[in-house]
Amino acid sequence: MQYTIEARELTRPSYEVESRRMVVEASDENEAISRYVRESDAELVSFTTPPRAAESIATVKKKDLVFLVRVYAA
């Protein structure tokens, strides 16, 4: 299945930040976020999939930057 991953930096003002988007092949949201973290050379801080939600939310850290990451079926 394909998953869209959108990452938005939280450590700068919102008017300076652009969302980054990529699509990955994965069997579920957990595999999709794991692949994103690995390919981005980042660290997963938190990950949650609320019941009956259309998307999962993660917090990812890379060096001194923190990102809000949304994962949802493409």
Please write the tens of the pLDDT for every residue from 16-64.
778 899 999 999 999 999 999 999 999 999 999 888 888 999 999 999 8
Q: Kindly state the tokens that stand for 35.
A: 């692949």
**What pLDDT, on the 0 to 100 scale, is given for residue 61?**
96
Per the model's pLDDT, the better-predicted residue between 55 and 15 turns out to be 55
What is the number of structural domains in the chain? 1
Confidence of residue 12 (pLDDT cuts 50, 70, 90): confident
Mention every residue, 6+ apart, whose C-beta is less than 8 A from residue 70.
4, 5, 6, 55, 56, 57, 58
**What pLDDT, on the 0 to 100 scale, is given for residue 43?**
97
pTM value? Answer: 0.85
- Which structural domain range is residue 8 located in? 2-73
